[in-house]
Structure 1
Amino acid sequence: MKTIQDPNLIAHYITQFNLNQVFTTSKHALIQLRVYEQNEIILHEGDELDGIYFQVEGRTKVSSSVGTGKSLLLRFCSPLSLFGDIEFVQEVVVQSQVEAVQQTTLLFIPKQKVESDLMDNHSFKDLLLKHLSYKLLTCTSASRTNLLGAVEERLASYLLTIQLQREFGKEIQTPYIPDIASLIGTTPRHLNRVIQRLTDMEILYKVKQEIVVLDWERLDEMSNGIRFE
């Protein structure tokens, strides 16, 4: 992580995401600009919360650990997203791991500054409420998918969420199969069987570290409209 001292860029993001009512000019000094590289952890589950994060560039992945020590995918996030709001309101440690999927820029406000300078701002409280309710919606959807959906549905939802463009034959760089299996709540052996079954159906195929989707429409039908975002 690196911190950038650039008041003009901070002001640009505040204007871009209509945060002027939350961060008036006098409040700009509260804000740090932080940049995280791909695969860098932004928030570690179980750590003490240090502040509120506003994602203004890039893409992040939010996951939560389960009793076996594995991770379960909750959602992918794009701008504008908030992190630390649940923990701040509930006064608990960080509940989920947040990882940068690509280079990601965030506005960061230290916890003590939030408490002393922002909690009397109705626009800030309205923003917290908006994002908290959105997380309730997405977590409910993710939980339903992870608990009730077949592995085929979960894999389809995962692939459709991470795709960059809807292009026939688009190749998707994929991490180690056990990582995907852990994220969607299955075993590597079962996931490999599912990939082979979808290969036999000519929906996709896997070559080394790439999954190539041949039929996005059938994959979309298989996902039942569920997305991890």
Structure 2
Amino acid sequence: MKVSLEYDEIHSYITQFDLKRVFSEWDTIPFQLRIYEKDEVVLREGDELDGIYLLVEGQTKVTTSVETGKSLLLRFCHPLSIFGDIELIQKVAIQSQVEAVADTRLLFVAKQTVEKRLMQDYRFLNELLKHLSFKLQTCTSSSKINLLATVEERFAIYLVTTRLSSGFSKEIHTLNIPEIASLLGTTTRHLNRVIDKLSEAGILSRKRGGFVVIEGDKLNDISAGLRYE
């Protein structure tokens, strides 16, 4: 992680996302810009929260641990997302792991500043309410996917959700099948069978080190409109 205090850089994100409407005294808040590389952990499940994070560039993956020690995928997040709101309000340790899946930037406000100033700011609290409501909605969707969808449907949902970084009808390289299988709550063997089935149906085409999505529309049909986001 790298930290920037460059005013012009921070102010450009405040302007881009109209954050002046979120913070009544935005120009007196000591923002940091935290920069994470792909695969770097932003928040680690079980750690103590150090502040509020606002995703302003890039993409993150949110997962939660299960009893077997494996992780289960909850959602992918895009700007503008907020992290740390649940932990701040409930006064608990970090509930889910947040990991950068691309080069990612987040505006950060330290916990002390949030508690002393922002928790009395009705604009900020109104924004938190919006994001908490959205998280409740996405948690309902992810529960439906993880509990009721077949592995084939879950894999289709995973691919459709991540389409922006790969693009349909383009080659997808270096997929970590065991990791994806774990995130989808299945085994590597079962997921490979699903990939073989989709390949036989002409939806995917296996290639060395990955595969090509041929029929994006059919993959979208299998996903039934559900998304990990």
TM range (shorter): over 0.9
Q: Which residue of 2 aligns with 1:119?
A: 119
Deviation (angstroms), 1:10: 1.3
Of the structure 1 ranges 181-190 and 13-22, higher mean CA displacement relative to structure 2 is found in 13-22
**Contact 2:166–2:172 at 8 Å: present in 1 too?**
no
Identity of aligned residues (%): 57
Q: CA RMSD in A?
A: 1.4
Q: Distance in 1 between matches of 2:57 and 2:69?
A: 30
Deviations 1:164-190 (A, max 9, x none): 278552222343211000111111010
Structure 1 runs of 4+ off > 6 angstroms?
none
Where does the alignment leave 5 or more consecutive residues of structure 2 unmatched? none
Q: For 1:1-229, list aligned pairs within 5 A.
A: 1-23=1-23, 24-28=25-29, 30-164=30-164, 169-229=169-229
Q: Distance in 2 between matches of 1:218 and 1:138?
A: 24
Amino acid at match of 1:123: R
Of the structure 1 ranges 162-171 and 148-157, higher mean CA displacement relative to structure 2 is found in 162-171
Amino acid at match of 1:210: G
Q: TM-score, normalised by structure 1?
A: 0.96
Going from structure 1 to structure 2, the CA distance change for 1:174 and 1:133 (only over 3 Å counts) comes to farther
Amino acid at match of 2:155: L
Q: Distance in 1 between matches of 2:53 and 2:167?
A: 33
Going from structure 1 to structure 2, the CA distance change for 1:25 and 1:176 (only over 3 Å counts) comes to closer
Per the alignment, in what secondary structure is the counterpart of residue 185 of structure 1? coil
Q: Distance in 1 between matches of 2:166 and 2:98?
A: 26
Q: TM-score, normalised by structure 2?
A: 0.96
Amino acid at match of 1:68: T
Count of residues in correspondence between the two structures: 228
Q: Distance in 1 between matches of 2:168 and 2:53?
A: 36
